[in-house]
Structure 1
Amino acid sequence: MHDIRLIRENPQAFDAGLARRGFEPMSATILAADAELRALQTAIQASLARRNEASKLIGQAMAQGDRDRAESLKSEVAALKEKLPAEEQAERDRLAALQDILAALPNLPADDVPDGLDEEGNVEIARWGTPRSFDFQPREHADFGPALGLDFETAAKMSGARFAFLKGQMARLERALGQFMLDMQTGEPGYVECATPLMVRDEAAFGTTQLPKFREDLFQTTDGRWLISTSEMSLTNAVREDILPEADLPVRMTALTPCFRSEAGSAGRDTRGYIRQHQFWKVELVSIVRPEDADAELERKTRCAEAVLEALGLPYRKMLLCAGDMGFAARKTYDLEVWLPGQGAYREISSCSNCGDFQARRMNARFRRDGAKANEFVHTLNGSGLAVGRTLVAILENYQQADGSVDVPPALLPYMGGITRLVP
């Protein structure tokens, strides 16, 4: 959510930031709605003040024996009382309308985010690892994965497209990946492992910006709750409506959870294989920090995700997203793209974002500096460390052998119960 005071102070800068995100200028509309709201609030305050004043004057008039004056004041008070509910409802309506306008607008990009309206404007920052040279034509995981236990047909019988049923050694590999990632992030990086709800209410989904804009991307239960599309939704909302002591920051949390996405806006994309599913596992990394620490925390968080790829020996590249390609809540984002030899392309496997105070304002999540009286909004960051299913795909394609088997990366061997190779 945007700070209305900053829009009042510098509407041109606000519109310039929106333009970098591909949005039309909105400051004039916002300030007009804000002016109407403030005028109505002023009128309500005047009515309340007059009602209180008139109520006091009634007693004075009665004490002075001026019954006509007292009756006139009583009539005025009654009229004010009758008028106030309508004015207060109008205030609520105008406040909601202003909030709706603000809630529909994305976060503004940081100054060092490159311009651009889509992925063509993203900037490669670095690469790690050398893609493997094969002495055979590497295949996509969807072509040899089923023989190893990546079963799409069984899942389709019970759930439809974009689900998978993992069996035996393949299920063990996916479980091993999740445990390995959690162990990495709860080790030296110091993230606290959490087990979170998989369903949240409207206000939580609003707080992390899945609502209202991305309603169609979510699954909703019959009692109105939302299945989480990422545990960012539950982890970040852990501090909603809190006032944290400065000494408690930074807060770093991680969780391995299923994630549920309708993929409403991705028709025709990645319909084969295990890359884009309605249900998948992911290790999420969430940080709650002081404003001045957010930039460094983004670098640290991204490095934590990179370390997983490097430990698994998976080549990747680090991309700085342009203004138009970032997520709705982000002010700066790094994507990590892993090399998939079957596709001959780099594909996103992690996205790490600094959201500034954008989510905190929606959640009313604050902290108080030592010795200070005023509260400030925290800054929130999130990132994948990593998407488990896409990491499994990367292992299948990068460690595949000519006979259709797949070597298990050395880092995962302690988690595999003696399995060193997935065999058809």
Structure 2
Amino acid sequence: MKLRMRGLAVAVAVATAAGAFVAAPSQAASAARTVTIWSGAADAKSDNQSPIISAWAKTQGITINTVYKKNVRDEFIKATPDGKGPDLLVGAHDWTGQLVGAGVVAPVALGGLANSFSAATKSGFTVNGKLYGMPIYSENIALIWNKRDSVDPTGKSFADLVNSTSGLAITRDLTNGDPYHWSSVASSFGLTLFTRDKSGWTTKLGYGETGSDAYANFLANDAKKIIRPADGWDQSACTLQKGAYIISGPWMYNHAQDTISGCSAKALKSSELGIANIPSAGGKVVHQFSGVYGYWQSSKVAGQPNAVSVGKVLRYVGSAEFQLALNKAGNNIPVNQAALKAMTDKNLAAFGIAGVNAYPMPSYVFMDTVWSKVGSAEAAIIAGKYTGTPGDFLRKAIAAAQAAIDTK
């Protein structure tokens, strides 16, 4: 997930830096035209972004210096307060809270790109109402269907798919559930894993809110009709190859095109796969999770002579031009809406369209606890292993999870 930014307010900072930077003219010019990026990619061979950025940067007289770090986030947090480290950091949106808390990244302004990204996409990089990252691509789940053996799900309800000959599948461990995938169902009852305000996620769990009774009753009475593929991605892909509809992500779209050992069905061609919106089980808008990648600007940039160059690079990675090039290089789904509409791979484009209302996944340090407690509660309700009413059982589990959060 990557980057963005337009309209950096750097004129004063650049003027100040120009007066304070003591160097030969050639050194000053070089410093002003060099932008350093830190990446968590293993090496240059596995980095499909820097070559695209570097080629464009040359046309602007800018040199891109990409450095690969194994523990890139931790090293960035350590280096920046001492005025060291890169100008830009690239990574997943769920680093934002920690980076902002450490004071090592600066807010960015989208400028002319303001209408290029959905509000949900921007929320992944937003803390206390301020945007800190430039989004470049995303991943989210959608409804994947087998054109070879099933019928087009367009216009069909959630219940229609569940009761169809092919059936509907959602991954779920018998004990721990799968709250990531099932969030798409919960959201259709008006629930989100955490509540949200204008800044994005709060730390208050949302599955105990209005709609919890309806969702819990759905789990108790209807969820057993949903196919639960045997544990493992191979079995899920095999289920899709046999004709079932499945709620999953681009990784499943790709895997369904592989030959699965022990599966009686043949691999699907990309032309035999379709991507559609997830229908609403509860009648409300579906908000599945998304993962967004992007770029952050180091808090030290404003005082540097290359601030203008850094701003240009940020604006470029947020552009449709860059994101389309990245899509062709790595099958990434753009978040710039113009790039998303211009994609030639219609299935990948459909993932992006299906995820237009997706919420970037929360990034709190206590997420493992939340996933475990919520998933276990959902699995228990589906299995009929609950006490009291399904709604009461779910709310008690959420209260226990909230107590665990509040003590951290």
TM-score, normalised to structure 1, is 0.22
Larger relative contact order (C-alpha < 8 A, sep ≥ 6)?
2
TM-score, normalised to structure 2, is 0.22
Q: Which structure has the bigger radius of gyration?
A: 1
